[in-house]
Structure 1
Amino acid sequence: MLVVEREGSIVAVMEAMGLSSVAIRRVSRLWGKSAARNGGRTHLLLGHLLDTAAVAGVMWERYLSVAFRRRLDEVSGGRGKLWFMWVCGIHDCGKACPAFQALDAVEAGPVLASGLVWGRLPRDRRKQWRHDVAGAALLKPRLVAEWGCEESAGWVWPLVAGHHGAFPSVRGLQPPHREVQGRGADWEEAQRAVVDVFTCAVGFEDLADVRPVGALRKAEQLALSGLIVMADWIASDSSQFPGLGEAALVSLAGSRGRAEAAWGRLGLRGGWQGLPLPGDRMGPLTGRLGVSPRASQRELLERAWSVPAPGLFVVEAPMGEGKTKAALAAAEVLAARFGLDGVFVAMPSQATSDPMYEQVLRWVRSFDPVFESHVALLHGRRRFNAWWRAIWEGKPRPDGDRCVREPGSGSGVGFGVEDYGAIDEDADYGLGPAEVPAGCVSAEGDGPAHWFLGNKRGLLTAFAVGTVDHLLYAATRTRHVMLRFAGLAGKVVVIDEVHAADVYMRQFLVEALRWLGQAGVPVVMLSATLAPAQRQLYVDAYLSGVLGVADVREVVPEPAGYPCVTVACGVEGRAVVETSREAVSSWRGSVPVELAWLPDVDPAGARVADAVWDCVADGGVVLVVVNQVTRAQRIFEALRERGLGGDVHLLHARLCAADRADRTAECLRLMGPDAGGERPDRMVVVATQLAEQSFDVDADVLVTDLAPADLLLQRIGRLHRHSGTRRPGAHRVPRVLVTGVEAGREGVPEFLWASRAIYGAWSLLRAAALVTEAAGPLEGGGGRGAALEEPGGWSVPADVPGLVARAYGEEAVCPGGWGEAEAWRQWQAKERGRMDEAGKFLLCRPREWAFPTLEGLHYAGSRAATEEELDAVVRDGESGVEVVVVRRVAVGYRAVDGTWLGVHGEVDDDEVTDRLLGGMLRLPSSLTEAARGGLRPLPGWSGRPWLRYLPALVLEQEGSVLLGRDRVSYDGDLGLVVERQ
């Protein structure tokens, strides 16, 4: 009888359970969403619990990966879907307490009238009783008593306590005041009834029947917690789930229908949902990516086919080897073998994310064209990516095809800027409510799911490309970290240019690897210049997660050659680490690269400009990479003064978004792999570290400031990169001029101040020593930077792994008298300090890594909410403020490109918004304090979601503004110019 009644109203379920009429009346009055915050309609507590459970049921069928469904089946005794629905729905049971029911006086009236009363509640916010913690407090003792197992209860109650973004310790389950949780038999009966009625309505016989037969690992618990939050947020959308104020209207069947409809309207979907194994072992490369496999690509793909369990793959191969395509092919194999549902590709920067996004778009289309609209681009300037705009905002496609959108689906422009992951009741605890713009829904089945554009939700899309920061955010002790981690679990994670992480960021990367290893997430790490110590560090971190042990040291075998692939996984509780046992040949042979010194520590770089002028006297393409923006600007100006004019291009991070995108595209068009006949006879690109990696250009000559050896080799990777490129006869051999350094007293190198500040003396000294071995003593550098009379150099890529190993090894490499030992001590002290600073924000403290549950995870955690604040957490030091450059004119304002804005900066339409946002840039960190103290959005931006929180850098009519002690201007050629007054 009870089974039949479960399909009826919740009242019928309560009657079938034998609840008294008084208990039924009381439970039927408990509210979950107030009319004031729910579109004008009250929603009963049991209604919201069933809505959330129903959403979870849809997620099980259409969103969860095969691997995660399998794990939930294992711990629930084969009832994974039912158990998932229960654990998602039970999250808000703590609303059945006076602290919550009294929050709205109108909603509290019927509750009081039913006989559920309360005394005086504390007004002190420090004594407020949050309903997430209240739910854990009332559920935990029942789970212990009725499951008869402290261990099972111990990992389940934190899932309830943490559903608003932070996991408290067990000590936090003690109410600060007796009245807030509810005193007396009436409240105890009502609270028990809420749990029991929901449990039976979902499909269990009673609470004891819910007991799991096993336990998820801590990382799996974190992923599950994120999925609970996802289900809750979807079910909390009043536009999709209008309130039901009468218990007779509430039923599981009704909630199922509402959930199905909401899922379709929101356009939500998972990824592969069970990807079949490729029929051909090399098919993911040859068929899907159209690649004729190189030896290194075959090596990775074979490893993906043979690895016995999800694991870590560290791929080391030269620049231009095709590592990313091989990684995507491996991701397909790993997903098919282990039941994963999608991919996240992490890139070192916004600039490198855009071309990878377009590559992943082409890749996912080969599985199913519909996947194109389910690829997220995760960085703050995605609005300027033409493909992103075409797919997510209905703009014209880059290839000229119009992107068709359903009427009423909205532009997508206004979504997500002010939504920091809060839902309505969070406002009761001092957090802003979510604002979901009307119309941000997709055509069912084939449109982009704008729900995923909300803050903290991007990784929940099936396929995502973005900066590595988004991976690092998932390893921070911050609110809603579980939502970010849930977006990684169930995917294959690819991390490109992994060597780019400095020691501070590396702490978060190591922490992320621990959690990913424990969650069974395959990770593919790519680098051309990875130090052996870093390889060992990453392997140990991943295995620490797999084995659930705080400290792991599993010696990584020395690779047989370069390229190479190292694989680490766990099999039957033991670690397995293998590396390429036979030398794998690179797709092209090593070539000699000539190195010569160009001594110069003048920030103006006049000598560099002279050398570049000489290099292009008879034609050629020269790439200049320097370590400071102002140095790049001055070299650029000097070259223009010498007559290069339009043949010289400037690229750095202080260009407005539109200018930077245009210039990057122009450099790729003229120097990229598809340049062909458009490659100019003469061209110079002056750039900062932006050109160091994932910048697929081909230069004849490289002029570079000295940098640590691995980064220097990355810059050299831009030389003679593409086969078949026509070059002047003088540039048939790749040549590097190393500058930014000169010989000081007794021949000890002296460095540019900026280089020393960025990289430290130790790594620069060792790089200088390695260059000296090839180019000769620093004093021997020719003034014109010509080739040495007896050329010396490196063989690239053959010498790369040895050079990197020596640069970061323990053996001394510098000549006596250079002060290497003291520089090492200073460097170590600074690195330890940075590691300690990062440790304050890591998701789990080392001593707590082996703890089996999430209890207390957020003790003393960071409260960073916005991505700007998170940037400061995962990157060492305060990040610069992002601003929009505008110009004040006599009667109002203009965008940096001259577009009229209005008297108060008013923006009339999306096109003007686009032009205005083309003036976005990030100020240098030296201006952060002054910017935060003095810059605000323009008054006319208050009604524009993309603008209302962006500060304006208003250039006065003379073209500049005083910001603190600096005069700041924006030059159309130079970009942001900062002059100390």
Structure 2
Amino acid sequence: MAAMGLSSEAVERVSQLWGKSAVRNGGRTHLLLGHLLDTAAVAAEMWDRYVSAAFRRRLDEVSGGRGRLWFMWVCGIHDCGKACPAFQAVDAAEAAPVLAAGLTWGRLPTNRRRRWRHDVAGAALLLPRMVAEWGSEEAAGWVWPLVAGHHGAFPSVCDIRPSHREVQGRGASWEEAQRAVVDVFTRAVGFEDFADVRPVGALRKAEQLALSGFIVMADWIASDSSRFTGLSDAKLVSFGEARRRAQGAWGRLRLRGGWRDLPLPKKRLDPLTGRLGVRPRASQQELVERAWAMPVPGLLVAEAPMGEGKTKAALAAAEVLAARFGLHGVFVAMPTQATSDPMYEQVLEWVRTFEPELESQVALLHGRRRFNAWWRAIWEGEPRPGGDGCGCEGGASSGGGPDEGEDDFGAIDEDAWYGRDPAELPSTGRGADPAADGPAHWFLGSKRGLLAAFAVGTVDHLLHAATRTRHVMLRFAGLSGKVVVVDEVHAADVYMRQFLVEALRWLGQAGVPVVLLSATLPPSQRQTFVDAYVSGALGTDVHEPVPEPAGYPCVTVAYGVGGRAVAETSPEAVESWRESVPVELAWLPDVDRAGARVAEAVRRSVANGGVALVVVNQVARAQAIYKELLEGGFDGSLHLLHARLCAAHRADRTAECLCLLGPHAGEDRPHRMVVIATQLAEQSFDVDADVLITDLAPADLLLQRIGRLHRHSGTRRPDAHRAPRVLVTGVTAGRDGVPRFLGASEAIYGKWSLLRAAALVMEVAGPFGGEGQGPPRSSWSIPADVPELVATAYGDAAVCPPDWPEAEAWERRQAAELKRAREAEEFLLCRQREWASPTLEGLHYAGSRAATEEQLDAVVRDGEVTVEAVIVRRVPGGYRAHDGTWLGVHGEVDDDEVTDRLMGGTVRLPPGLTDAAQAELGPLPGWAGRPWLQHRSALVLEEGGTRLLGTDLVSYDDVLGLVVERQ
């Protein structure tokens, strides 16, 4: 250090500054310079082995060709603010050598509001030097927030002014020491001096957010005391030593990126024909060709009928986009947990075709992934699932979609062990070798899931990256460098769309290609998504009209290039893989929650054989219809699916339905079968029914449900079901012929969309008379009519008869949607008026009220906070799991197999029980110290199988699921 022009006093003082206290660092003090160099060394590993080529190119551009060096510097400099009294005084034992070296301080404030944090102290320390020595306020303006925000929130510039003159350090000795810390570190990593660090350009705001996430990632890795042991002797601190430590830690953590230098496919359709092994359909070929044609990263919107193969085409397009633009992974966002599981297995199979070892880099992101057999095999070392490919073994697992507006995501508190050395993890009892090649458990820690190279999960994770919450930069860093695929994008309601639009704007600016998939996308939503992405890409609000598609299927492409917006659609009609067929619609007027009339219609529809799918909008109605059929002696295979089944039952039933009615059913397809389900069956549920009975829903969702009807080619059907037929129920004629809907339906969807859907059905099914009474034209042509039906349902033209209260319902809908959109603004990542700001300064201007993952899930779905509980039965002498497994006197769990059985009883409680559950439920005493259980609530059912929760009587029936009786 003396050779760097520092006085001996400065050298002594810098060598005493601590960065990690012994108390919090495994018993060994770690000097500040040591931690800065460790973090820079980790950054070097990230650059070489993790960061995408596209992001490396951008850093090279803004640093004058020294991207790797600059990345190391900006990651390592993050903690320079610890060289101040406010931090050095935190630990009295660590402070003693600092005081002895001559770095003293007076009385420091103890008021929490006046506490001076080291992240803002670092910005306060660096900003004047950046302006003075770089000679550029612009460069200083976008770099200092990266330092100030490394603890998860970006302050405004006024927040980096000390509120007390002692906290930052007064006098020449502190000034010299602080300059020395920065200078010594800067030269150690390879720059000549601080002025030499000056960037020659600026990253765009979204790129800054991604870079901030990488800084946090490097800091978190370098802060692991089990891999970076404390060094309290300055003679042992060097960048060479830090590189050695970082290389070892990186290898032991098994961290890696995804594709490295992914080559372009030799033939344009190889990603489809070779890797995915499909005979390309016209719509699939169109999407891949559009990916080849885009001159820059952009937005692709693929609209095609249900069962067209959109997701496989999206994966093929993702390979093309990644190879062309230097990206290293993919995130596939699905609407629910249930749809995420089969997609995870599909992505696993696809990723293996690039490199078998890449399967260990595919993360499944939802709270019930423990019940996915493939996830457990790869991430926990269990035996790999077998099966015949139909989904009965190791196929579909837990999860499912929201019923009655319930939030889907069920977070599990895994922080107790995620991110630790695999050797330190709770024993799986399955002989996993911590030293062998395998998955990087570090990526499974809180907020880190999207950092895995490949990920499949609920769309919530994409929406979380558009919220103004702590550590949002980690989520966004995980999206940068990837291709983002969003399936069933139409499923986002007006509230969720605020976050989706915000995410598209940031992704557009970050140059992240996005592929949106839908069978039933209203034109107005397509336009909104295009405008958001292109506005982000161009850095200004843009409205680029999307041309009317020539037909259906179609692909829309949007991007910004050369300062102009481009939006194109397929110039010619794209042929669908199957011919359109007439689907007959008829009314089954019924709004009785008991569902007796629906049950009778089911019996008649399959009296001579066949498969009926019943989709209703309320769990209690599904349970009642099932009971009617069961108690009436239904002669056939009967299944019930809804979101209030425990995880194990839901997984088993979903797998069985997919096996019996999926694309590989073959001879196993039953002669007579009925599936009664809630909304979870309306999308990405790959079953083939002969007849559909469904509660009325908005037109796009009604069409999604129809997509389960006559879905697979080659299915053998009884003569009575040669033509697809739909009975629409959940509605009846009210006064003056105005339709009356189920209360649950109106609460979920609103009256306007139901009125419009009812009017469209009435055009072919006739008025609300007896079942089957309709006009001469009693069918829709599917899929040909889908775009027109969706556009009409959400268009401006009047659809309903004049005496229906459509205008009144529309006004209420508009007011409600405006209110929900404004409520979403409170949590959006950036206020609209601040989008043009070029830096991250002040991004977290008011933080977010969301304190937990569960609360954040409710934020992005505009739902009430819900609670997941584990069903436990009290028996003489102790407790048993839902399946009868003995737990112990206090609920003790001895091994992971018992944990799995117990967790299979996880069920999400309806929102109406949340307050009572939070007040009354908690973990059993025997769950203390068990990572998967210690924060879980137990729903303890007494010996009679029931319990009062609040004022409601709750029970769990192995067939019906959770039953709630209002008292």
Shared fold, TM over 0.5: yes
Report the more deviating stretch, 594-603 or 955-964.
955-964
1:174 deviates by 1.1
Aligned-pair CA distance for 1:368: 0.1
Q: Tell me: CA distance 1:377–1:853, structure 2 relative to 1, closer, same or farther (3 Å).
A: same
The amino acid across from 1:492 in the alignment is V
Name the structure 2 match of 1:717. 707
Equivalence for 2:184: 197
**1:905 to 2:901 alignment:** no
Q: Decide which of 413, 432, 448 is 1:417's aligned counterpart.
A: 413
- 2:587–2:773 CA contact under 8 A, matched in 1: no
Deviation track 1:740-777 (CA, whole Å, cap 9, x = no partner) reads: 00011111100000000000000000000000001111
Which residue identity does 2:463 align to in structure 1?
L
* Maintained 8 Å contact 2:283/2:574: yes
Counterpart AA for 2:215? I
Q: What is aligned with 1:975?
A: 961
Q: State whether structure 2 residue 448 is matched by structure 1 residue 457.
A: yes
**In structure 1, how many angstroms separate the alpha carbons of the residues matched to 2:4 and 2:507?**
43
Cα deviation per residue 1:514-571 (whole Å; 9 max; x = unaligned)? 000000000000000000000000000001100111x321101000000000000011
The within-5 A match list for 1:122-521 is 122-399=109-386, 417-419=413-415, 439-440=424-425, 446-521=437-512
The equivalent of 2:28 in structure 1 is: 41
CA displacement, residues 445-488 of structure 1 (integer Å, 9 cap, x when unaligned) = 83100111101101000000000000000000000000000000
1:632-659: per-residue Cα shift (whole Å, max 9, x none)?
0000000111212661100000000000
* Alpha-carbon distance in 1 for matches of 2:239, 2:121: 24
Whether contact under 8 Å (2:422, 2:441) holds in the other structure is: no
Corresponding position of 1:32: 19
In structure 1, how many angstroms separate the alpha carbons of the residues matched to 2:866 and 2:789? Answer: 34
* Letter of the 1:623 counterpart: L
Unaligned runs of 5+ in 1: 1-13, 402-414, 423-433
Q: CA deviation at 1:436?
A: 6.8
**What amino acid sits opposite 2:802 in the alignment?**
G
Structure 2: which 5+ residue stretches go unaligned?
389-410, 426-431
Amino acid of the structure 1 residue aligned with 2:532: A
2:879 is equivalent to residue 889 of structure 1: no
Aligned pairs (5 A) from 1:819-968: 819-968=805-954
Counterpart secondary structure, 1:600? coil
Contact preservation (8 Å) 1:285, 1:293: yes
Secondary structure of residue in 2 paired with 1:389:
helix
Displacement after TM superposition at 1:964 (Å): 1.2
| SS of alignment partner, residue 178 of structure 1 | coil
**Take 2:152 and 2:950, find their aligned partners in 1: how far apart are those partners?**
38
The equivalent residue for 1:566 is 556
Q: 2:570 aligns with which of 564, 580, 600?
A: 580
Separation in 1, partners of 2:545, 2:518: 20
Would the alpha carbon gap of residues 421 and 252 (structure 1) be closer, same or farther in structure 2, given more than 3 Å must change? farther
- On the 8 A contact 2:361/2:454 being kept in 1, the answer is yes
Aligned match of 2:406: none
> Structure 1's 978 and 829: CA in aligned 2 closer, same or farther, altered over 3 A?
same
| Counterpart among 679, 687, 694 of residue 697 in structure 1 | 687
Map Cα deviations across residues 282-304 of structure 1 (whole Å, 9 max, x no partner).
Answer: 00000000010000011000000
Give me the whole-angstrom Cα distance separating, in 2, the residues matched to 1:156 and 1:353.
38
Q: CA deviation at 1:879?
A: 2.9
Q: Which amino acid aligns with 2:109?
A: P
In the TM superposition, residue 185 of structure 1 has moved relative to its aligned partner by: 0.8
- Distance in 1, matches of 2:229 and 2:850, equals 32
C-alpha separation in 2, matches of 1:449 and 1:163? 23
Contact conserved, 1:418 with 1:435, CA < 8 A, in 2?
A: no
Is contact 2:299–2:558 with CA below 8 Å preserved after alignment?
yes
For the pair 1:774 / 2:764, whether they are aligned, the reply is yes
Query: Does residue 810 of structure 1 match 2:804?
Result: no
Q: 1:421 to 1:891 in 2, by over 3 A?
A: closer
Secondary structure in structure 1 of the residue aligned to 2:275: coil
Offset of residue 418 of structure 1: 4.8
Other structure's SS at 1:851 match = coil
Q: In the alignment, residue 17 of structure 1 is paired with which amino acid?
A: M
- Contact 1:657 1:920 (8 Å CA) reproduced: yes
Which moves more between the two structures, 513-522 or 118-127?
Answer: 118-127
Q: 2:101 aligns with which of 85, 97, 114?
A: 114
Q: Work out whether residues 330 and 484 of structure 2, in 8 Å CA contact, stay in contact via their aligned partners in 1.
A: yes
SS in 1 for 2:46: helix
User: Is contact 2:542-2:565 (8 Å) kept?
Assistant: no
Give the counterpart letter for 1:806 in structure 2: T
Aligned residue for 2:26, secondary structure, equals coil
Q: TM (normalized to structure 1)? A: 0.94
* Partner Cα distance (1:358, 1:493) in 2: 17
Matched residue type, 1:439: E
- The one-letter code matched in structure 2 to 1:120 is R
Q: Distance in 2 between matches of 1:531 and 1:378?
A: 28
Q: How far 1:435 sits from its partner (Å)? A: 7.1
Distance 2:231 2:558 in 1: 52
CA offsets 1:927-965 (integer angstroms, 9 cap, x no match): 111111111111111110111111111111111111112
Confirm whether residue 21 of structure 1 aligns to residue 8 of structure 2. yes
Q: What is the rounded CA distance, in whole Å, between the counterparts of 1:436 and 1:531 in structure 2?
A: 48
Q: Indicate how the Cα distance of structure 1 residues 400 and 659 shifts in structure 2: closer, same or farther if over 3 A, else same.
A: closer
SS at structure 1 position matched to 2:424: coil
Q: Is 2:745 the counterpart of 1:755?
A: yes
Name 1:630's counterpart in structure 2.
620
Whole-Å separation in 2 of the counterparts to 1:37 and 1:543: 47
Mapped partners of 1:873, 1:622: distance in 2: 36
Q: Does 1:764 align with 2:764?
A: no
Q: What amino acid is the match of 2:925? A: P
1:645 & 1:663 partners in 2: Cα distance?
19
SS in 2 for 1:37: coil
- Does 1:537 find its partner at 2:523? no
Equivalent AA in structure 1 for residue 768 of structure 2 = L
What residue identity is the alignment partner of 2:491?
A: A
Q: 1:445 to 1:137 in 2, by over 3 A?
A: farther
Partner of 2:405: none
Residue 615 of structure 1: aligned partner: 605
Q: Which 4+ runs in 1 deviate beyond 2 A?
A: 415-422, 434-446, 786-791, 863-866
Q: 1:445 to 1:283 in 2, by over 3 A?
A: farther
What's the offset of the Cα at 1:123?
Answer: 1.1
Contact preservation (8 Å) 1:420, 1:456 = no
What's the offset of the Cα at 1:854? 0.2
Structure-2-length-normalised TM-score: 0.96
Tell whether the 8 Å contact from 1:344 to 1:459 is kept in structure 2 after alignment: yes
Deviation digits for residues 167-204 of structure 1 (CA, Å, limit 9, x no counterpart)? 00001001121111111111111001000110000100
AA in 2 matched with 1:593: V
1:398-427 CA-to-partner distances (Å, cap 9, x unmatched) read 1289xxxxxxxxxxxxx98353999xxxxx
Secondary structure of 2:166's match? helix
Question: Higher mean Cα deviation, 445-454 or 461-470?
Answer: 445-454
Cα separation, 1, equivalents of 2:171 and 2:801: 81
SS of structure 2 residue aligned to 1:683: strand
Asked if the contact 2:765/2:773 (under 8 Å) is kept, the reply is no
In structure 2, the partner of 1:604 is: 594
Q: How far apart are the structure 2 equivalents of 1:664 and 1:200?
A: 60
1:928–1:901 distance in 2 versus 1, CA, 3 Å: same
Letter in 2 for 1:705: D
2:23 is paired with a residue of what secondary structure?
A: helix
- 2:399 corresponds in structure 1 to none
